[in-house]
Amino acid sequence: MGPAERYPTDRGHRARNRPPCPADLACGDRPAHRHSPRRNRELTVCGIAGLLRPPRPTPAGDPDRVLVTAMAAAMVHRGPHDQGIWQDGPLTLGHRRLAICDLSPGGHQPMTYRHLTITYNGELYNQAALRARLSPTVPLTSCDTQVVLAAWLQWGPAALEQMEGMFAFALWDVHQQRLTLARDRLGHKPLYLYSPAGGGIAFASEVDALLTLPDLPRRPHLPALHAQLLASPALAADPQATAVEAVTALPPGSLLSIGPDGRPARRTYWRPPTPHSGHDTGSGAGPPSTRRGRAAGGLGSHVIRATTAMLMGDVPAGVLLSGGLDSSVLTVIAARRASPAAPLHTFTLAYPGDAARPGSDLAHARAVAEQLAPRVALHQVPRTDTLALDDIDAVLDPAVLPDDPRHPAILATYQAAAGHGLRIVLNGQGTDELMSGYLTRPWFRHLLHPDAFAGLPASRQARALTPDVLADRGGVHARLLQLYQSMPATPLERAQHLLTATQIPHILRFEDRLAMRAGIEARFPYLDDRLVGWCLRHPQSIHIAGHSAPGGAQGKALLRRAFSPLLPAPVITRPKQVLPHPAARPLQQSLAALARDHHRDLAADPLIGHLFTLPNPSELDRLPASTLFQILGTWRWHLHLTRPPAPPRPRPLPGQAIN
C-alpha cells in the first residue's frame, strides 16, 4: 500500500495543522479482508404486507389469505428469494424476502416467538449491543428479526428507542390481540396504510401492493398533488399524505397500535434533538482550532463506525461514487475491506462527453479510484441525454408524482450494481442536509432569512399549472411556513431541521424505491442514527468555513478536515455539485417529441387537464424539460393508478419450477 492509500497513524494526525483523528482511522497496514466476521448473519431486507379485520365469522375460501398473497406478489422485486403467509384470527401477515446472507429456514418470515409474531423489513446496526442486554434465557440465532422479537418481549414498545437501524415492521401480540406498526427514525424503510370501509387496516411496503386490494378506491389525492406541484415532493408539510387518496404513510419515527377495540393510536417515539437540548456539543475547552479539530475527530469516528457497520454481511457491497466528497469518503473507508483479487465495485454515471470533461463526476471518480487501485474497480454507467416512455414508467411510484428526470439514471446505477452480482450498495446521501452542504445554493438563502421563506417553495414550483392548482398556493406556503417556524430558533438549525423533516424522508423514499426495483438494498452511512444525532446536537456553524475565502463560506468543513489526508486534493476542494442532469437540449427535445406523439392522450386525461395548462403540439418546445417530464410522468402515473392491476406473474423461488 502506497502512502496515498494508507490510513494515517495517530502520530500523523497529531502533527501540526492536522485534526485529531479517530482511533478507527489508525489502522496502518492491516491485511485486507472481504467480509465481516459476522458470518451467517441473516438479514431481512424484504417487502411486508398485512390485513387486520374486525372480528367476524371466518368466510369461506379464506379471502384474506388470497388478498395478502396478492399484495406480497406485487412486491416480488423486493423479495425474490422467499415468501411467507401467516394467519391468526383477524390478522393475516405476508412477507417477501431478499437474501442478503444465506437463505436458511431460520430466517423465514413471518416469524413467531412465544406470543409475538412479526413481519419485518430492515436491519439493526446495534444488534450485538442489544443481544448483550437481553435476558440470557432468550435463545437467539444470528437473525436480526429474533433480536427484535426478544427486545419487544423484554421492553415492549420502549424497544424502539433502543433500536438503531433501518426498519419497518408489523408485530402481533396474540395475548393482547394488538397489532403494532413501526418505522425507523428517519424513514429508511417505507410503510403505507389503508383503512377499508368495513374497518381494520391494510399495510404494505409499497402502495402498489395496496392497489391490489379490490375495494381500494383508485383516486388521486388532489390536495397532495397540488402541494407537490406547488412546493415539490421534497417539501411536504404532511408526512402522512400520499398521492393516492385512500392511502397514507406511517411517518418516520412513529408507531401505530390497534388493540381489540379496533381504534388506532399513533405516537411519535423519536424527535430530532437540537443543540439546545441539554446535550454536550463536544466542542470542549481550548482555542477554536482545537475545538474544531476535536469535533472533526468525533465526526470522523462516527462516519467510519457507521460505514463499517453497513458493510458487514456475507455478500460484497458496492458504492455509488460520484467523485464528490461524500461518496469518496465512503469509498476510501470501504476500500479497506477489499483486495486486488476482490476489489470494491464502484459505479459512476457517464453522460456523453463526460470522459473528456475535466470537471465531470467521472473525472473526479477516476481520480479516487486510481488512488485506491487495485482495491477499487470503477464501473461507468453510460446514459444518453434522452428519455423514452419506458424510462418514465420504470421509475413511477404511486406514492408521489414523478418530478425528477434524473431518476431513470439513478435506477440504472442500481441495475448496474445488480448486474455485477451485488445486493448492497452504499449511498452518500444526507450530508448536505445535516452539514450545511447546500450553503452555496441560491434556494438555501431563503431558509436563512425568515422574511424570505416563501421564496423557497416558490423556487420549486412547477410551471404550466392551472388556476385550480395555483389557488392552493397560499395554503401550501402557509403550512410550510408554520412547520418552518416550529423548528429550532437559529436560522441554520431551522434549515437543518426542516430538511431533516422533509427532504431526507423524500430522498430515502425514492432511493429505496429505485434500489429495490433493481433488487438492491441501498444503505446510507451518513444517515446512521448516532451520526444524525451527533450532527443535530452540534451547532451547524461548526460545519461552515471560509467566510473570508474568495468563494465565500462553504459547508461540510468538518467532513473535509477529517478525511482530507485520504483523498485527492481536487475532491476536497471541489465545490458542491448536484447529481448531473442529462444535457438540457437533447432531453427537452426527446420529451417534447413524446408529448407531441401522445398529445391526444394527454389532452384526454382529466387529471392532466386539472393540474396543467397543456399547450398545443406546436408550442410544446417552449416548455422546459422539467415541466415536460412532470406532465408526461403525471399522465403515466394516472394510467398506472387507474388501470386494474395485472395478475402477478409467478416467479420461481430457489429450487422451484413453474410449469
Q: What is the pLDDT of residue 37?
A: 34
Q: What is the pLDDT of residue 445?
A: 87
Query: So where are the chain's domains?
Result: 10-19+276-441+507-573, 44-268, 584-642
Long-range CB contacts for residues 339-344, cutoff 8 Å, separation at least 24: 339/32, 339/33, 339/34, 339/375, 340/374, 340/375, 342/34, 342/316, 343/374, 343/375, 343/376, 343/377, 344/316, 344/317, 344/318, 344/319, 344/372, 344/375, 344/376, 344/377
Residue 645, strand partner residues = none
DSSP state of 319: E
390 is an annotated ligand-binding site residue: no
First to last CA, the chain: 54
d(CA 423, CA 315): 7
Region 556-567: mean pLDDT is 95
393 near 637, Cβ under 8 Å? no
Do the two domains 10-19+276-441+507-573 and 44-268 of this chain adopt the same fold? no
pLDDT at 418 over 70: yes
Helices (H), 93-181: 127-133, 144-155
Grid cell for residue 227:
402541494
d(CA 398, CA 659): 32
Q: Which pLDDT band holds residue 143 (cuts at 50, 70, 90)?
A: confident
* H/E run at residue 253: none
Name which residue leads in pLDDT, 371 or 141.
Answer: 371
d(CA 158, CA 155): 5
Residues 387-407: tens digit of each pLDDT = 999 999 999 999 999 999 999
Lowest mean pLDDT among 51-55, 180-184, 204-208: 51-55
pLDDT at 549 over 80: no
Q: Which pLDDT band holds residue 2 (cuts at 50, 70, 90)?
A: very low
43 near 64, Cβ under 8 Å? no
d(CA 651, CA 81): 10
The burial class, CB within 10 Å (0-12 / 13-18 / 19+), for 30 is exposed
Region 18-42: mean pLDDT is 38
Strand ranges (DSSP E) for 37-104? 44-52, 82-88, 91-99
How many secondary structure helices (H) and strands (E) does the chain include? Answer: 25, 17
The CA distances from residue 263 to 215, 383, 436, 538, in Å, are: 21, 50, 42, 40
402 SS3 class: coil
101 is catalytic: no
Q: What is the pLDDT of residue 655?
A: 41
Residue 629, amino acid: F
DSSP state of 589: H
pLDDT at 6 over 90: no
Lowest mean pLDDT among 20-24, 143-147, 226-230, 544-548: 20-24
Q: What is the pLDDT of residue 451?
A: 84
314 is an annotated ligand-binding site residue: no
The CA distances from residue 414 to 76, 317, 332, 346, in Å, are: 17, 12, 20, 11
pLDDT at 548 over 80: no
Q: Which of 21, 27, 46, 535 is catalytic?
A: 46
Residues 604-634: tens digit of each pLDDT = 999 999 999 999 999 999 999 999 999 999 9
pLDDT at 44 over 60: no
500 near 270, Cβ under 8 Å? no
**What region, left, alpha or beta, does residue 182 occupy, with left being phi > 0 and alpha being psi -120 to 50 degrees?**
beta
404 SS3 class: coil
Nearest to 182 by CA among 173, 191, 174: 191
pLDDT at 516 over 90: yes
Helices (H), 285-430: 288-311, 325-334, 361-372, 389-394, 407-419
pTM for this one? 0.90
Q: Look at the domain 44-268 and name its fold.
A: Glutamine Phosphoribosylpyrophosphate, subunit 1, domain 1 (3.60.20)
d(CA 324, CA 428): 9
The burial class, CB within 10 Å (0-12 / 13-18 / 19+), for 596 is middle
Residue 297, amino acid: G
227 near 236, Cβ under 8 Å? yes
* Mean pLDDT, all residues of the chain: 87
DSSP state of 646: P
Q: Which pLDDT band holds residue 79 (cuts at 50, 70, 90)?
A: confident
Q: What is the pLDDT of residue 552?
A: 67
CATH number 3.40.50.620 is the correct assignment for the domain at 10-19+276-441+507-573? yes
